[in-house]
Chain A
Amino acid sequence: MIIKGTTWKFGDNIDTDAIIPARYLNTSDSQELARHLMEDADRDFPDKVKPGDIITAANNFGCGSSREHAPIAIKAAGIQAVIAKSFARIFYRNAFNIGLPIFESGEAPDRIREGDEIEIDADNGVIRNITRGEEYPANPIPPFMQELISEGGLIEWTRKKILATN
């Protein structure tokens, strides 16, 4: 899997209230959620972001609530992937469960500047910065997570298991 796009840069501890404020959680409509993506962190973000873009962030991205609306809003806005130094654990689970590719990298979030063109080579665990001509390693995706992604997420994985036992 190769993912190529333009980056938006965020800092440490981007919480789920910043990704999608709770005041919009009286709906689970993904397009409506996407219209408010990151607006408490950057009011103009929903207008600026384009399908195909990539988010980078520092430590503990997605901390706070368990709301799956957060990765759903990111995905619905057309964000292809998120790269961070670390992710909060429920966000990490949710992203894999719903099929939003996320990558942990110690180096990339510091080196990448907002607006850089990058290319993520998921199979080889490499992030290439096309704008700057640099390369950074990404942590390998654990085998079980790879299985979830290749099966199309947790629900598809569960559906197949249920079919197999019936």
Chain B
Amino acid sequence: MTITEKILAAHAGKESVAPGDLIKARVDLVLANDITAPIAINEFKKTGAKDVFNRDRVAMIPDHFAPQKDIKAAEQCKMMKDFSREHDLSLYFEVGRMGIEHALLPEQGLVVPGDLIIGADSHTCTYGALGAFATGVGSTDVAAAMATGECWFKVPESMKFVYYGELSRWVSGKDLILHTIGDIGVDGALYRAMEFEGETIRSLPLHSRLTMCNMAIEAGGKNGIIVPDSITEEYVKGRAKREYKFYTSDKDGGYSEVKEYDCSKIPPTVACPSLPSNTRPAAELSHITVDQVVVGSCTNGRIEDMREAAAIMRGKKVSPNTRMIVIPATQQIYLQAVREGLTEIFVNADAVFSTPTCGPCLGGHMGILAKGERAIATTNRNFVGRMGHPESEVYLSNPAVAAASAILGRIATPEEVE
């Protein structure tokens, strides 16, 4: 069996499962945000359940339109807060404690290896980087799981992605996953598990692994997953709030497809409008001017991403034609950035340094594009209208490319500004 199958089997109370099986499985954690929780809460009430299945395993994170951007958003957030108080949930995060859900939960050790996690947010697949099975579902699924502690799943086929060779300078997990999506397409892994492995992955830092698993959904994948190892152990020890278990894949796990990538040939990569699969080397896009640069999101809003962008920005200025918005994904990252002097670098460069929020990633607030404007962002989606007006455009990249582009006011490689 593959790691995905083993985790699903363990949570379904079965010896083994096979792709295609429909199972009912126990969930370790259920989460929802300020967009998806209101529907989940209303549906939960209709189930007739008096209480949630476990008050310590339901996470409510207002991060999308929070800090509350308008009255409607405030009402949605309040609904989460009221529900959390009513059911005495221990994992409700008020503004000031909240961060972007998929950065916050791993950071706080609230999701751990071997877990089965569902969230009413498609990027729940991020936690696969810890060797957990994590997948996005809808609000109704979350409502039912909050009531019963269980969810139904179709066991997915697994695809294996093998990465070998050394990474070029300024290439990180973001480039590997963009390159992969560019290769297989936005439905290339539809309904399937994406298991990332190989020598490059074995030495890939955890933040880059989180970035890769985060974008599994952009290839249609059900989950992204990496077999845990010493890098995982290093990350979770001292942080995990619960016991964890390392699962591995059997040698002949049974994969529907295997893809191999020579990482030494992967350059800093950019996804052009309006699909994450529309990838090109950053170096070929130097004619594309940008009005806005965003560094942040659940994909690339971690401290390592802040450091990478700051390393480029140090002593430089954002182009007069461009605005740059830097958004650390959690309060802890924010504080760390302040301590390390990264905030000062950004502010001196004439960039904005924001409180944690999803904000512009989904065109919510804090940096919306006007008609005809163009942005490069370290986020994960560049669909039509994703960051604002339907006639605006979004390019996706890693933090170093985004920072270099801010300085030159056009898409640039880090080498151009060094």
Using a CB–CB cutoff of 8 Å, the interface residues on chain A facing chain B are: 13, 15, 17-18, 21-23, 25-28, 39-41, 43, 59-60, 63-69, 72, 86, 88-90, 93-94, 97-98, 142, 144, 153-155, 157-159, 161-163
Which residue of chain A lies nearest to B385 when distances are taken between CB atoms in the complex? A40
Asked whether any CB of chain A lies closer than 8 Å to the CB of B366, the reply is no
Docked complex Cα distance between A21 and B186 (Å): 19
Which residue of chain B lies nearest to A22 when distances are taken between CB atoms in the complex? B362
A to B CB contacts below 8 Å, 8 in the list: A17-B362, A17-B381, A28-B42, A60-B186, A63-B220, A66-B121, A89-B220, A158-B49
Asked whether any CB of chain A lies closer than 8 Å to the CB of B353, the reply is no
Pairwise interchain contact A154-B140, C-beta atoms closer than 8 A: yes
Docked complex Cα distance between A157 and B48 (Å): 11
Pairwise interchain contact A154-B72, C-beta atoms closer than 8 A: no
Pairwise interchain contact B122-A13, C-beta atoms closer than 8 A: no
Which residue of chain B lies nearest to A65 when distances are taken between CB atoms in the complex? B122
Kindly list chain A residues whose C-beta atoms are within 8 Å of the C-beta of B381: 15, 17, 64-65
Given A63-B186, A89-B191, A22–B363 Cβ distance below 8 Å? yes
Kindly list chain B residues whose C-beta atoms are within 8 Å of the C-beta of A72: 39
Given A18-B385, A60-B220, A64-B381, A159–B46 Cβ distance below 8 Å? yes
Docked complex Cα distance between A78 and B39 (Å): 19
Given A67-B35, A94-B140, A142-B22, A13–B186 Cβ distance below 8 Å? yes
Given A93-B137, A93-B138, A154-B141, A66–B70 Cβ distance below 8 Å? no
Docked complex Cα distance between A86 and B188 (Å): 12
Kindly list chain A residues whose C-beta atoms are within 8 Å of the C-beta of B121: 65-66
Docked complex Cα distance between A15 and B187 (Å): 11
Pairwise interchain contact B220-A22, C-beta atoms closer than 8 A: no
Asked whether any CB of chain A lies closer than 8 Å to the CB of B386, the reply is yes
Q: Which of B142-150, B306-314, B398-406 contacts A (4 or more CB under 8 A)?
A: B142-150
Kindly list chain A residues whose C-beta atoms are within 8 Å of the C-beta of B217: 64, 90
Pairwise interchain contact A17-B72, C-beta atoms closer than 8 A: no
Which residue of chain B lies nearest to A60 when distances are taken between CB atoms in the complex? B187
Pairwise interchain contact A163-B36, C-beta atoms closer than 8 A: no
Pairwise interchain contact B138-A68, C-beta atoms closer than 8 A: yes
Pairwise interchain contact B144-A158, C-beta atoms closer than 8 A: yes
Pairwise interchain contact B138-A97, C-beta atoms closer than 8 A: yes
Kindly list chain B residues whose C-beta atoms are within 8 Å of the C-beta of A22: 35, 362-364, 386
Q: How far is the CB of B387 from chain A (nearest CB, A)?
A: 9
Interface centre among A60, A67, A86 (most CB of B within 10 A): A67
Q: How far is the CB of A128 from chain B (nearest CB, A)?
A: 28
Asked whether any CB of chain A lies closer than 8 Å to the CB of B128, the reply is no
Q: Which of B359-410 contact A (CB under 8 A)?
A: 362-364, 381, 383-386, 388, 390
Using a CB–CB cutoff of 8 Å, the interface residues on chain B facing chain A are: 22, 35-36, 38-39, 42-43, 46-49, 64-65, 69-70, 72-73, 76, 119-122, 124, 136-141, 143-144, 147-148, 152, 186-187, 190-191, 217, 220, 222, 275, 362-364, 381, 383-386, 388, 390
Docked complex Cα distance between A39 and B389 (Å): 11
Task: A21-B385, A94-B137, A94-B138 given; name 18 further pairs at CB < 8 Å.
Answer: A13-B275, A17-B386, A23-B363, A23-B388, A28-B39, A59-B187, A63-B187, A64-B217, A66-B36, A66-B122, A86-B187, A94-B140, A94-B141, A144-B22, A144-B152, A155-B140, A162-B48, A162-B148
Pairwise interchain contact B187-A13, C-beta atoms closer than 8 A: yes
Q: How far is the CB of A57 from chain B (nearest CB, A)?
A: 12
Docked complex Cα distance between A53 and B47 (Å): 31
**Total of A-B residue pairs, C-beta within 8 Å:** 143
Docked complex Cα distance between A63 and B188 (Å): 12
Pairwise interchain contact B70-A26, C-beta atoms closer than 8 A: yes
Pairwise interchain contact B190-A161, C-beta atoms closer than 8 A: no
Contact of A90 among B39, B138, B144, B152 (CB under 8 A): B138
Docked complex Cα distance between A28 and B136 (Å): 19
Kindly list chain A residues whose C-beta atoms are within 8 Å of the C-beta of B122: 64-66, 90
Q: How far is the CB of A53 from chain B (nearest CB, A)?
A: 22
Contact of A26 among B46, B72, B187 (CB under 8 A): B72
Docked complex Cα distance between A72 and B237 (Å): 42
Which residue of chain A lies nearest to B72 when distances are taken between CB atoms in the complex? A26
Docked complex Cα distance between A71 and B315 (Å): 49
Q: How far is the CB of B128 from chain A (nearest CB, A)?
A: 15
Contact of B137 among A40, A66, A88 (CB under 8 A): A66
Docked complex Cα distance between A67 and B121 (Å): 7
Kindly list chain A residues whose C-beta atoms are within 8 Å of the C-beta of B147: 158, 162
Docked complex Cα distance between A55 and B187 (Å): 20
Which residue of chain B lies nearest to A90 when distances are taken between CB atoms in the complex? B136
In the A-B complex, the 6 residue pairs with the closest CB atoms? A94-B138, A26-B72, A60-B187, A97-B140, A22-B362, A66-B122
Docked complex Cα distance between A144 and B22 (Å): 8
Docked complex Cα distance between A153 and B385 (Å): 32
Kindly list chain B residues whose C-beta atoms are within 8 Å of the C-beta of A88: 187, 190, 220
Docked complex Cα distance between A28 and B42 (Å): 10
Given A17-B381, A17-B385, A23-B363, A153–B140 Cβ distance below 8 Å? yes
Which residue of chain B lies nearest to A25 when distances are taken between CB atoms in the complex? B35
Kindly list chain A residues whose C-beta atoms are within 8 Å of the C-beta of B48: 159, 162-163
Docked complex Cα distance between A64 and B363 (Å): 14
Pairwise interchain contact A18-B49, C-beta atoms closer than 8 A: no
Kindly list chain B residues whose C-beta atoms are within 8 Å of the C-beta of A97: 138, 140-141
